[in-house]
Amino acid sequence: MRHSPDGVILCAGESYAMMIDFKLPVAFAARPDDRKAVTTVVGTVVVDVDLRECEPGELADVAELAFDIAKGKRWTKFVHRHDVLYSPLATVESLPRTFAPCGPKPGFPFDRVEPRLRRTIDDRVYQARRRGSLYPPASARSRRFYEPLILRPVEQMNLNEVDEQTLARQIADFRHRCSRLLVSGGMVYLSVSEPVLGVDLVEKDGQAKAYVRPVWRKTRGLGTAKNGAIPPHAVFRLDDLEGIRRFCDLAGVPFRPPKGVRVWDPARLSIDSEQLTVFSAAARIVRKAQDWIGKHQVIDEIFDIVERSEDDTDYPPHLGDLLVDALEVHRSGTRVFSNEMDVVATQGVTELWDARSISVGISETLTTNR
């Protein structure tokens, strides 16, 4: 069962250059020849993906970051092409072509396939009402013994009444993931969101300090998932050391230039520090306070905005005002923040936002009066 490429949008001047065959693990409904009823089938299908390719000279170096320099983590490079930021993922030879479900977690482009497939398999294997509903039976036995599943090619199975729509959707989703890949000079690059510098205020030995570090942003930006990292107190563009200094001054903590940051081409950076830092402060409230926060209309609105936003730059402009209101709610006795550093940091963020709002307002007035 082979599937030809479709649906990938190319930039001007680009052409497909490298085809890779992936063996995509899938789960779908079908009726095997030796069964009377439709069941859940797991197996692999071959998906041909044509990856875009460019010359190494077309990639412009932007920055290099060490995301955990204290633990000796290697530097990660970021390059730019056609208004898109990329980071090296793997060599062409080492890029994963498939994975064994319920085994070691795979990396991109299978990182989203594995958890969905694992949930489906576990539901069929461990739920009493669904036991025996996974095909082939060897896959169910492997899961019960906590072994990785070695899947058979779907094309080698005798199946009827195949749910082609579900199968096609999984293939399309996988293709969409692969559209973020670019090949150049024997390396596979992954399109990424622009990273930022995160600032956290911490109290150590009775003194407040600012901990500045590079922060990854996911495709949709800073998140609030319980199993994810807590958003920083504030975030800034990679080259915005002056913004970090102002924030530290407002918080009353010493400014120390960050380690593990090398910026070569700041013109390629587009993050608006004040805009993103407001979202980060709001997302931090949501992430930290999901279980114990007090009830209040202001807090409910912050939750609603953060959880409904498409990404961390898409939110109503009054979110900054809601942070000011959240500080007042906290001071009035309804718990919003878990410690004083959260209060101090949020106060600093609101002051940066207020200064920006005044600056933008003056600029718009001057422009109108010309």
Q: Write out pLDDT tens, residues 204-244.
A: 888 889 999 999 998 777 877 777 788 999 999 999 999 99
Q: For the chain, what is the domain count?
A: 2
| pLDDT above 80: residue 17 | no
Q: Write out pLDDT tens, residues 176-194.
A: 999 999 999 999 999 999 9
Residues 168 and 243 in one domain: no
| Per-residue model confidence (pLDDT) at position 222 | 83
Residues 43 and 182 in one domain: yes
Question: Which two structure tokens, joined as six digits, stand for 156?
Answer: 């080698």
Residues 132 and 279 in one domain: no
| Per-residue model confidence (pLDDT) at position 196 | 95
Residues 183 and 294 in one domain: no
Question: Which two structure tokens, joined as six digits, stand for 257?
Answer: 């230039």
Q: Write out pLDDT tens, residues 137-179.
A: 998 888 888 889 999 999 999 999 999 999 999 999 999 999 9
User: What b-and-e string marks burial along 67-90, b requiring 16 or more CB atoms within 10 Å of the CB?
Assistant: eebeeeeeebbbbbbeeebbbebe
Residues 162 and 261 in one domain: no
| pLDDT above 80: residue 13 | no
User: What b-and-e string marks burial along 292-308, b requiring 16 or more CB atoms within 10 Å of the CB?
Assistant: ebeebebbebbbebbee
The residues near 299 (Cβ < 8 Å, ≥ 6 apart) are: 285, 289, 293, 326, 329, 334, 336
Domain span holding position 228: 196-369
The residues near 163 (Cβ < 8 Å, ≥ 6 apart) are: 28, 29, 30
Residues 15 and 121 in one domain: yes
Residues 204 and 152 in one domain: no
Residues 172 and 210 in one domain: no
Positive or negative CA dihedral for 229, 234, 239, 244? negative
The residues near 14 (Cβ < 8 Å, ≥ 6 apart) are: 52, 54, 82
| Per-residue model confidence (pLDDT) at position 151 | 94
Residues 25 and 50 in one domain: yes
Last residue of a domain, one of 169, 191, 213: 191
Last residue of a domain, one of 191, 208, 227: 191
Residues 177 and 275 in one domain: no
Is the distance from CB of 280 to CB of 234 less than 8 angstroms? yes
pTM for the whole thing?
Answer: 0.85
Q: Write out pLDDT tens, residues 328-369.
A: 999 998 888 988 999 999 999 999 998 865 544 434 433 444
Residues 122 and 232 in one domain: no
Average pLDDT, the chain: 87
Amino acid at 169: R
Residues 143 and 220 in one domain: no
| Per-residue model confidence (pLDDT) at position 254 | 93
| Per-residue model confidence (pLDDT) at position 366 | 38
Q: How far apart are CA 127 and CA 206, in angstroms?
A: 52
Last residue of a domain, one of 162, 191, 220: 191
Please name the helix (run of DSSP H) or strand (run of DSSP E) that holds residue 347, with its range, or none: helix 340-369
Amino acid at 302: I
Q: How far apart are CA 331 and CA 63, in angstroms?
A: 41
